[in-house]
Chains A and B, each alone.
Chain A
Amino acid sequence: MEKHLFLIILCVLLGRVGYSQQEIKGIVTDETGHALPGVSVSVRASNISVTTNTEGAFTISSPTKQAVLTFSYVGYKTLERQAGTEPLTVRMEPDETALDEVVVVGYGTQKKSSLTGSVAQVNATEIKRAPMGNITHMITGRLPGLVLKQSGGQPGADASSMNIRGASSFASSNNPVVIVDGVRRSFDQLNPEEIESISILKDASAAAVYGLQAAAGVILVTTKRGSMGKPSINFNTSMAMNQNTMFPEFLNGPEYAYWYNKARMLEGKDPLFSNASIRKMLEGDPEGKWGNTNWVDEIFQTGHSQNYGVTVDGGTEKLKYYFFGGYYNQDGNVAHTSFERYNIRSNINATITKDLDVFVGIGARKESRNAPTFSTEKNEWNNIFQQAMRAHPYLPKTYNGLPTGNITNGPLVSPIAALDQSGFKRNFAEAIESTLQINLKMPWVTEGLSMNVMGSYDHRTAYAKAFQTPFKMAQGIVTAAGISYNEVESSIGQLAKLAENTSRRGFLTLQASTKYNRSFGKHDVSGLLLYEQYRTNSNEFSISTQGLDFLELPELDFANELTAAAGAFGGSSSVVPNAGFVGRFNYAYAQKYLLEISGRYDASYKFIGNKRWSLFPAVSLGWAISEEAFLKDKISGLTYLKLRGSAGKLGNDTGVNAYTFLSTMALLSSEASVVIGNEPRNAYITNALSNPDLTWETATIYNGGFEANFWDQKLGLELDWFYKVTDDILESQGGTFAPSVGGYYPSVINTGKADNRGFELTVNHRHALGDFHYGAQFNISWYRNRYLNIRESANIQDHLKRNGREMNEKHGLVALGIFQTDEEAQNWPSIFGGNRAGDIKYLDVNGDGKLTYADDRMWIANSNVPQLNGSFSMFFDYKNFDCSFLFQGAAQAEYALSGYYPGIGYDNTEFTSPFFQLGNAPKYLVENSWTPDNRDAKYPRLSDIKVQNNKWASTLWIVDGSFLRLKTVQLGYTLPLQVAKRVGAQSIRFNVSGGNIFTWTEFPYMDPEAPDVSNGYYPQQRTWLLGIDVKF
């Protein structure tokens, strides 16, 4: 009894001592600085333990002064901290042991450790390290294997083109199929906030379940889901400004006069601009006739964009919800180009009974794009950029109150008026995407069995309205006597034109599946059987009118007549159905030996008979070799090592037009073609010859790789190597038939064959030094493809053959240099005759003493798509600061400054021919053109007209497309919790981000990702952004 009393007293005393001395307080946050409730906090070597409250705060009593506290929470690394006199602020680190990471795969998820296929995934945290904008820009460099190329910067139309592991087919699309929440949908107009993860399926094993459409790889996008816990409300907003990355500088007024005069004199013509005129350009003209206008600068301004998003998420065990509403708008850095988007999402998971789950996901968005009548699309006729490059800089912006402009070899140009006065093109799109999924576990049949039905209906409408308003302009005409002006109509003409078109698409998907998932001791078995069908119904119609009584009312009701041009009205509809069966079987023994067999028995309505259905199987094996006794704990530092390999077959039917198995006829023209019996009548023409034997392209992919982890995840390594053969490639036969056959052959047949090989290597490092956390990732990938069998003309010359060469190489003449004398030029073979000093000297490749474009061109440059891609990214977290950056690099790509125009062939562009089409010229070009006093010039002779000899695609116009770019930078600061709480928030984070900050490349006048035929294009944008995230 005494003993007991003593102990009690001792305890009380000790307790009192401990209590009075050591009441430890603190706050626990997650990795982003948000309060983390429910974290278990305990004193080491004791049973004293508390959990954090909803604000992440805790108070714990410790018996000793030097208590070490242990913090643990599911999904986070367990931390230990020494208590001090100050309140503790503890930031938890997510437990991203790569092995437990869950990866989204086709029709399901898998633990990364059990993966045997090649899959890469990026999650929300990483996506958000880039400035908010188009999602395709935000994931650039973060998914090894995904090659992205941004070829323009137009608001709302600046998504990068994507392919997985480079091109493998030379006839069909190499665009991966995109699946959002299990359904074929696009993701580039989702608000990045809605996206939880993006995975890419690279090899046959991962993609076989998508059968006929998977040959180019698959992108799986998953939207966010509700999580258990108290509702959290998150508000984020950002504001950004955008400017061109690069655009060549064009001549100003006096420079233009100087170089144009010089060009004329070299052609034996008199100069056009007098010194007096040039003086007026420089010093100002009292009559206002001469000016000095930088039209390129005039059309560009600083663009702005804004983003707002509200997320509500939370739930209980029975019901989890995620709601999101977002708004994004961008005013382009070209006036009157803008984009606006609203996104809404509601994802709800409900557990109805213990075996029955229901998921309802609804996403909706509304987009509108605004542009002036004169297009801002690349390569479109007379687009704004082309006008700016062709407008003459000696003109003032206005004359007599009218916008000025000049005529070119083609239309009148007046860039500012074209932006401000030409009317508008407005595009509207709305989409509602809905999914209902019912999941039923069936333990009463057998443990681990479940059934699932999913139905989805997406409805998309698009509507466009284009209104062209005529305007008057002052056309400047320069003669030797000076400059005069004519008041003329713009190239729109005298009548206003109004055109509208609308289209709607309904897309219905049904899936029914059975899943089985069970462990028997060391044996893990799972299986999937699934039937899927989907169908698109679409229709559209359009009308175009002219002559409106009131320009204030651009409505069809007020239009006077149909335009007397082709396509005054039109309409059509189509049905696109598909169906397939999916199967997958996984087996793992002791998490060491892994096997997966998967496949899809798939059908396409584009084929008939025995060509309709086909099986696309794949098999893959994995061996977690580090788990073997002979390795486990034997090699110091090696935490995990898995070898894996796969082989399988995938299909691609995207290159096939529907109904090529039928002989069909089409309307020759959308309006009457002939007049018979005094009436206009239609005419019909046969479509291309039917080909009932047509089938899909088949890709066979072999993939091998390993994943390794060293020093307890500090260093991660992942390597994938693959070889892919694509067979039965749809080849257009056109080039290999004599034209006398008149096109009487099926336009495509399955004869092509190509291969593609490459690797992806990822190196990862993560480390923490006290409060300083950092990580780095380096990705490199390389791909090279080849034509193994491509149809070539019967009499083709060896140096033009493509078999064995890489895809999309550029062909052209080989420039040997520039003729220095007329005599040298005349004694050298020429295509058109009449060469002189300053013209390009070409190699007579076949050595026949004659130069022809058909015979003497050869393969001179790589494709525009880089073969070597890499990125290096880092992030740092220190207390309330975080910082990240990403460098993107690409090599083994080349682009041509001369353009290729489908159906016309190669030709000059603004970038290769001074005063092209009678426009202005870029400064670098004239300054580096050959003239008698600049004989070492890089470019051929200066001329005021297009020189035939120098127009060909040749090595002279090839530019190295390699580049290194500081793609994204982000600096974030999270306010101390105490400060955030004062305004009622749980956390507040500010960030400054940048996109496309610096680019290092050979040709510094143009963005290295610029499109091929550059008749003016919307330049890529450099972005600076300021963002705020508030969580309540």
Chain B
Amino acid sequence: MKKYLMAFLSAWTLGLGACNDFLDPDPTDRLSDKLFWEKEASTDLYLNSLYTYIPSYGNFGEAQFNDGLLTEGMTGMLKYGAYSAGVGNANRIVFNPYFVTADQSQGLVIWPTSYNRIRRVNEFLAGLKKYASYPQEVNDRYEGQARFVRAFLYYQLLLRTNTVIIYDDLPESNNKPLSTEEACWNFVEQDLDYAIQALPAKWPENANGRITKGAAYALKSRAMLVAKRWAKVVEAANAVIQLKDNGALLYDLNADYKNAFKSYFQGNPEAILEFRYQLPGPYHTFDRKFAPGGDWANNGGAATPTQEMVEEYELATGGKPNWSEWHGTTNETPPYTLLEPRFQASVLYNGANWKGRKIETFVDGKDGYVDYGNQALTYGKTVTGYYLRKYLDESISDISTTYSAQPWIEIRLAEVYLNLAEAAAKLNDEAAANDAIRKIRNRVGLPYTDQSGDALFTAIRHERKVELAFEGFHYWDLRRWRVAHQELNNVRFHGLKITQQGANLRYEYVDCDREDRKFPERFYNFPIPTTEIANNVSISQINLW
């Protein structure tokens, strides 16, 4: 019996003694944050998460709209075919501006996601300060990259809402007030200036793809343009253009416009800031959303270029063709093949060569056409008679089984030239402005005569619209120039409906909106989300919302 007693007693004591160790297992599914500051390879893994923000505000990302919509869909450049929730949001916004509200931001308000990201950047910077013991130069590079990302995030916020809350460190209270517009842009400028001096012009091969000095200069030229700090635009733009490594210029316009969207690391000297994809991951789904309907039955073709945009392109020889014949009904083939290379690289039209076939945008063609407003979704059919070509990857043979991996070029040199042109014109340095425009037009073989005054500004606007078409600029440009309430209000845009008549094709100019678009004054300054107003007692909603 003693034996049993001993067994019981030892079970008891075992339990008592073992308790505390027993209750302290090491977590097996997560890692302590300190660990990430012990060596650069780990810190890089942490830093990588900040890089994922860069493409998310662009065409391959989903930050600016909940369905990854292109903002051009709210301009006369591009028409979304759907009008139902999600992929139809662009139409819902342009036809019913009440759709954008402070509590249902429908993606146009990026406030919560962006502030979450800003906090992530600040958390990285705080960790760097607290735990890292790297040489100064290494620390500077980490800080430079993080602050670049922070500036990029603030730029995105300021593009939408004119004044925002600045967090240069981790938040300590719930109730921080808005800063002035001046202070906001100063903050962006400081972060970019820091990045410019801290970051290398070129990273070693095994770190290529990291943010460079050139990217920081280029983003500065873009941000300062929105801030209307013209001299700083010019200064930053020139710095990028002239940036050298080992005596050689780092950036140059790609001789072929259609290759200007390839990776720098595959020989495109125009790409300044890019985010690369590689299957199986990271990947994006741009082709699935925008490829012509014939590529994958019932899919793609979410948004298609308008007739207005097509008419913005010049002939390859310069000057616009006369489109009046196609503003009615005709059997004449439009002069697509005569248009400039940028059209050929950006728009797919009926008869264009695509993946070894000809595009068929006519009614019941392989790609198909459907009148806008007839059905809530288009299932791959165009509502304008065109499809997008820019950014599509023609080498993907089957998009139903393959995701997309073409790089997202957030900043390319052509934009820097256009930033320069606009700022120089504002500073009355018309020579520099004309010079920059000529550079852009030369590349695609278009003639150019120097302009001045309003004509110069018109030329800059046209060039920006065409060169940077579908790249995420146009909507913001129209707002920036304060012309959106004229150009996007009480207007309708058009398409070409093509029908087969025996062996002939009939072209009919069609209203692809079927109701007037609206752009209310308050859209120049998007609202602060209701949740911010509800919880932050130092802030109130901005006027008109």
Contact = CB atoms under 8 A, between A and B. Distances in A.
The reply to whether chain A is a binding partner of chain B is yes
A29 interface: no
A677 interface: yes
A564 B374 CA distance: 35
A512 interface: yes
A486 B379 CA distance: 13
8 contacts: A573-B29, A579-B22, A674-B209, A675-B278, A677-B205, A737-B174, A738-B174, A948-B99
A572 B29 contact: yes
B529 interface: yes
Contacts of B36: 665, 684
A45 interface: no
Nearest to A672: B281
B354 interface: no
Interface string B249-293: 000000000000000010000000001111111110000000000
Which 7 residue pairs across A and B have the least CB separation, nearest first?
A742-B119, A671-B281, A683-B48, A854-B103, A738-B536, A739-B112, A675-B276
A451 interface: yes
A795 B15 contact: no
A905 B208 CA distance: 42
B8 interface: yes
Interface of B: 1, 4-5, 7-8, 11-12, 15-16, 18-19, 22-25, 27-36, 44-46, 48-49, 51-52, 83-85, 96, 98-99, 101-104, 111-112, 115-120, 122-123, 164-165, 167, 170-171, 174-176, 205-210, 265, 275-283, 297-298, 374-377, 379, 398, 400-403, 529-537, 539
B51 A674 contact: yes
A580 to B, nearest CB: 9
Nearest to B112: A739
Contact of A742 (B16, B115, B210): B115
Contacts of A685: 46, 49, 120
B442 to A, nearest CB: 32
Given A683-B48, A687-B30, A796-B534, A475 B85 contact: no
Interface string A916-951: 001000000000000000000000000001101000
A546 B104 CA distance: 38
Contacts of B19: 533, 579, 603
Contacts of B280: 561-565, 568, 671
A453 B32 contact: no
A833 interface: yes
Interface of A: 269, 355-356, 407, 409, 412, 440, 442, 444, 451, 453, 475, 486, 488-489, 493-495, 510, 512, 514, 531, 533, 535, 546-547, 561-566, 568, 572-575, 577-579, 603-605, 612, 658-659, 662-666, 668-669, 671-678, 680-687, 735-744, 793-796, 830-834, 852-854, 905, 907, 918, 945-946, 948
Contact of A564 (B83, B117, B279): B279
B535 A574 contact: no
Nearest to A685: B49
A852 B533 contact: no
Given A668-B49, A672-B281, A945-B84, A795 B30 contact: no
A675 B23 contact: no
B535 A794 contact: yes
A475 B170 CA distance: 55
Given A575-B25, A666-B31, 10 more contacts: A440-B4, A572-B28, A674-B51, A677-B206, A678-B208, A680-B281, A683-B48, A735-B535, A738-B531, A795-B534
A731 B419 CA distance: 49
B30 A664 contact: yes
Contacts of B176: 738, 740
A682 B11 contact: no
Contacts of A832: 96, 98-99
B52 A674 contact: yes
Contact of B533 (A665, A741, A795): A795
B98 A603 contact: no
A720 B282 CA distance: 60
A398 to B, nearest CB: 19
A669 B167 CA distance: 27
Given A493-B401, A740-B111, A946 B84 contact: yes
Contacts of A564: 279-281, 283, 402-403
A937 B64 CA distance: 40
A681 B45 contact: yes
A679 B67 CA distance: 28
A577 B115 CA distance: 37
Given A574-B29, A739-B112, A794-B534, A510 B282 contact: no
Contact of A664 (B33, B46, B123, B210): B33
Given A736-B535, A796-B534, A451 B276 contact: no
Contacts of A739: 111-112, 115-116, 529, 531-532, 535
B175 A669 contact: no
B101 A852 contact: yes
A644 B167 CA distance: 60
Nearest to B274: A675
Given A564-B283, A794-B537, A659 B30 contact: yes
Nearest to B8: A451
B194 to A, nearest CB: 21
B535 A684 contact: no
Contacts of B8: 440, 451, 453, 512, 514
A612 B23 contact: yes
B401 A495 contact: yes
A854 B171 CA distance: 26
B297 A486 contact: yes
B115 A740 contact: yes
Nearest to A854: B103
Contacts of A662: 27, 30, 32
Nearest to A571: B29
A437 to B, nearest CB: 13
Contact of B85 (A356, A453, A489, A946): A946
Contacts of B207: 676-677
Contacts of A355: 1
A678 B48 contact: no
Contacts of B83: 945
Given A568-B280, A663-B32, A687-B30, A742 B117 contact: yes
A665 B167 contact: no
Residue with the greatest number of chain B CB neighbours at <10 A, chosen from A604, A684, A833 = A684
B208 A743 contact: no
B48 A573 contact: no
A687 to B, nearest CB: 7
Given A684-B48, A740-B115, A794-B535, A577 B25 contact: yes
A741 B119 contact: yes
A475 to B, nearest CB: 7
Nearest to B171: A741
Given A451-B8, A531-B15, A740 B167 contact: yes
A221 B5 CA distance: 30
A514 B379 CA distance: 72
Contacts of A665: 30-33, 35-36, 46
Contacts of B24: 605
B22 A577 contact: yes
Given A409-B376, A684-B48, A742 B537 contact: no
